[in-house]
Amino acid sequence: MSNSEIDNLLKNKTITSLSTSLPKNIKTIKNSIGNSNDIIIREFLIGKPIEVPIAIIYTDGLADNTSITDFILESIISDFEVTSDTTSQEIVDRLKTYCLTVGSIKNVSDFPTLFNAILSGETVLLLEGLAIGISTSTKSSKDRSITEPVTEAVIRGPRESFTETLRTNTALIRRKIKSPNLWIKTRVIGEVTQTEIAIMYINGIANEKIVKEVLKRLDRIDIDGILESGYIEQLIQDSKFTIFPTVYNSERPDVIAGELLEGKIAILVDGTPFVLIVPALFTSFLQSAEDYYQSAFVSSFIRLIRFLGISLALVAPSLYISLTTFHQEMIPTRLLISIYAQREGVPFPAFVEALIMEIAFEVLREAGLRMPRMIGSAISIVGTLIIGQAAVEAGIVSAAMVIIVALTAICSFLFPAYGLSNSIRILRFPLMVLAAMFGLFGVFVGIMLLIIHLCSLRSFGVPYMSPFAPLIPKDQKDALIIFPRRSLLTRPRLISQINNVRGRKN
């Protein structure tokens, strides 16, 4: 069979099963991968007095060369008797039973499974006269070590975060929850990337209907590649036309373990340290892992500060615009005189003034994120100070507006979840437009529309604003404030409907 014929057959997907001819299988593999030099194919002979052709195939860089040498090559090259009566299946059984000392061994009977194995770091053995190969686990352990979380830093709490390796991440959760009821279901998504996805939940606590819905939505995904968990998040969320995140994500194993204990479901994607959690509630984005590691009174105070921060980050510029433009009578006289004295030389209305400063700050924030780490923070701080001071001295903006924008920026950093911070940053601008057009009336209408939109959202069937809407009195113990640990005896009612009581006595 010529190379062109093999290529045409592969394109038409007519060649799927392995052949009993070892040379034919090797030729098909080479043509399928375009003779890529990182795919190592080594052929040799084993057995005495009759020698049997055999080949091992693996990907250089993904497979561990030491494991291949110590546990495969040295084992199968050892002398064992092969006579004319010995079948290929008997040789394979003997290799599995007596020779191969690796941990995991699976049969491979078709080329898609073979390619998925070798491109995942496994080593495949093919034998002459047998249309079944042996896949052995030889994945390389070259991955990023477990480090301290970058986006969710805490003063008190574990100092470990997820990595880009799926099995490392599942092990980190297993170490937190040592229960046989912690179940894992896997999927492979992405026609080209063949990305492995793991769904973790606690059987008996998680709602089976939500588990089935998660698996159903994952099975519906038809895409060529998954490179990060954000792909999955966008493809499985309930509403496609909302600016608010309806799927929670975290890089902390303790946060994911806590969410699993509440009855939620974790979605882990190979190649990213961020794990998804569904269903997600609005309150989850304002809760930090440290809230549960210190006094309930301290945590409640800090949580109230966060709710105040989200309010100021959302409406502070629009309130300033509406008060200075339409409702001067609501400002104390001395403060009003001070504000107008500052704005005396400013050539722009309050809306344009706020718009200039907000856009300038967003540009500086983005530049600080994209700059090299060593100079990014310095550039953003120095740039903000210089631009703010220069703009005031040049009479482009007033000092009061710089204070408002600075307060808004500081409040936007209070959110433990970065996704919600992005939503609030964007929503400030339409509220500023409404304030410039209609004053406080426009701001109130905008806030009411925002609340209505939030109450209409669902995350896998669970109301997004629960336990505020619908109001669930029992779940208020861990919403706006947090009660002492001895009072948190029940799980969220709308999430875990099977086993609501924490502890053995249910």
Give the model confidence (pLDDT) of 323-373 as tens digits. Answer: 988 988 888 888 888 888 888 878 888 899 889 888 888 887 887 777 766
Segment 155-182 mean pLDDT: 91
Is pLDDT above 80 for 77? no
- Residues 388, 451 within the same domain: yes
Please name every residue paired with 105 in a beta bridge, in sequence order, or none if there are none: 136
Does some domain include residue 4? no
Does some domain include residue 96? yes
Segment 472-491 mean pLDDT: 87
Does some domain include residue 501? no
- Residues 76, 116 within the same domain: yes
Please name every residue paired with 459 in a beta bridge, in sequence order, or none if there are none: 462
Q: Which of 128, 116, 107 is nearest to 22 (CA)?
A: 128
Global pTM value: 0.86
Does some domain include residue 262? yes
- Residues 211, 316 within the same domain: no
- Residues 411, 375 within the same domain: yes
pLDDT of residue 302: 92
pLDDT band at 172 (very low <50, low <70, confident <90, very high): very high
pLDDT band at 105 (very low <50, low <70, confident <90, very high): confident
Does some domain include residue 294? no
pLDDT of residue 5: 46
- Residues 330, 443 within the same domain: yes
Does some domain include residue 412? yes
- Residues 347, 435 within the same domain: yes
Work out the end-to-end distance of the chain between its first and last CA atoms, rounded to an integer number of angstroms.
Answer: 67
Is pLDDT above 60 for 13? no
> In b/e form, how buried is each residue of 59-71, taking b as 16+ CB within 10 angstroms?
beebbbeebbeeb
- The larger pLDDT score, comparing residue 358 to residue 394, is at 358
- Residues 52, 184 within the same domain: no
Q: What's the total number of domains in the chain?
A: 3
Give the model confidence (pLDDT) of 108-124 as tens digits. Answer: 888 888 988 898 888 99
Mean of per-residue pLDDT scores for the chain: 85
- Residues 50, 114 within the same domain: yes
- The larger pLDDT score, comparing residue 358 to residue 6, is at 358
pLDDT of residue 196: 92
- The larger pLDDT score, comparing residue 38 to residue 364, is at 38
- The larger pLDDT score, comparing residue 500 to residue 2, is at 500
What does the block give as tokens for 466?
A: 């629960």
- Residues 273, 304 within the same domain: no
Does some domain include residue 36? yes
Domain that holds residue 364: 300-462
What does the block give as tokens for 498?
A: 């099977």
- Residues 451, 388 within the same domain: yes
State which of 137, 154, 181 marks the end of a domain: 137
Does some domain include residue 156? no
Three state DSSP letters for 387-426: HHHHHHHCCCCCHHHHHHHHHHHHHHCCCCCHHHHHHHHH
- Residues 233, 122 within the same domain: no
- Residues 236, 125 within the same domain: no
Segment 390-407 mean pLDDT: 83
pLDDT of residue 273: 93
Q: CA–CA distance from 378 to each of 151, 360, 368, 384, 406 (Å)?
A: 19, 16, 8, 10, 17
Question: Other CB atoms closer than 10 Å to residue 398's CB: what's the count?
Answer: 25
The one-letter code for the residue type at 196 is E
Is pLDDT above 70 for 376? no
